[in-house]
Amino acid sequence: MKVQSVAVLWQIWSRKSFVTSSTLRAFSTSLINPSNSILMSPSLVSLDCPDTWTSGSVQSDRSSVQKYTSKHVAQILDGKVMAEEIRSGIALEVKRMKESIGQVPGLAVILVGQQRDSLTYVRNKKIGSEEVGIKFLMTMLPDNCTENEVCKALQSYSENPSVHGIILQLPLPRHLDEGKILGLLTLDKDVDGFHPVNIGNLAMLGREPLFIPCTPKGCIELLLRSGIDIKGKKAVVIGRSNIVGLPMSLLLQRHHATVTIIHAYTKNPDKVAHEADILITAAGVPNLVCRNWLKPGAIVVDVGTTPVEDPECEHGYRLIGDVCFEEASKVASAVTPVPGGVGPMTVAMLLHNTLESAKRAFKFS
């Protein structure tokens, strides 16, 4: 399923674009110069190792099976605090860049329509950019805009040397060809990591994508900073979108988890989820995951965000996740809140990708 999805994306891209010599140089640079110490996540190539099977490889690991009393309360994985630490490191690097060469990274966002969750994401990206000193640009287009209008905005930012990262806020309205438009995105400015070449390199051992998609990257960084070991764990991902589910499953495999994907056609999804040591859900279905979906002691990462009307909130609505938080807190060993969990980490990873893109463009180290 994963290989087929990547193959389809590659076919779309190969008809619309080509790999330039500058792109190849960028790949080489990303391998020679790994990310600085702002993040705990290592380069993916450094994780690669051969699958060597021995008689001792197949064994039952019951160490993660735990039983909790009714008084148990899960550890809260506070993405907001972790993201603040990462943003502080990014701000220092941006300041050092400005003082050294008189330049700062630039991030451009193209937003089509007025979806509430997309507006929330873009607003947080703008605030985050301004906090760390990254220049922020935005083009807003109506729901009924043409494909050509989106492509023109994309081309304009691609040709702008002061822009080092371009975000095409997804999902797009149904009448727009998402695959075609993403195929036109300049690879070395694809800070969201959705370009078919980036996804392809994420899927393949021995390859390093220029950019890892921000939400999966943020989930991994959150787990590592929480001291959670991924290697050898049973990881279940709920959802298989190109934005989160697919790249999340690929990234977990690169970290040597044993990965299962649950989608809308999976039979007995609660039973499949119950096997997970690490459950990452990105279905966008409020309170989908309840107590009986979770193995005692599981790590639960909730990527889902669904806007719900709430006149008492600042913007007239609030966000709720895929996981029934109160129930999960009594079963899981650790769980992320919504909001305040994965969201801030996603924005932090976007800012980090933009910084790394600017460093490559300016040859700044």
- Tokens linked to 43: 């380069």
* 98 flagged as catalytic: no
CA distance 179 to 201: 17
Q: Which residues on neighbouring strands pair with residue 289, listed in sequence order?
A: 323
8 A C-beta contact, residue 308 and residue 287: no
Residue with tokens 């309360």: 73
Residues counted in the chain: 365
CA distance 41 to 208: 13
Measured CA angle at 316 (ends 315, 320), to 5 deg:
95
Pairing state between β 106-112 and 135-141: parallel
Q: Which residues on neighbouring strands pair with residue 301, listed in sequence order?
A: 280
What one-character-per-residue DSSP string does 198-257 give?
HHHHHHSTT---SS--HHHHHHHHHHHHTT---TT-EEEEE---TTTHHHHHHHHHHTT-
* 155 flagged as catalytic: no
Distances in Å between the Cα of 193 and the Cα atoms of 157, 215, 347 are 16, 10, 13
295 membership: H or E segment, kind and range:
none
- Which one is catalytic: 115, 125, 217, 359? 125
8 A C-beta contact, residue 189 and residue 357: yes
- Which one is catalytic: 135, 188, 189, 192? 192
- Tokens linked to 352: 């980090």
* 125 flagged as catalytic: yes
* Catalytic residue list: 125, 169, 192
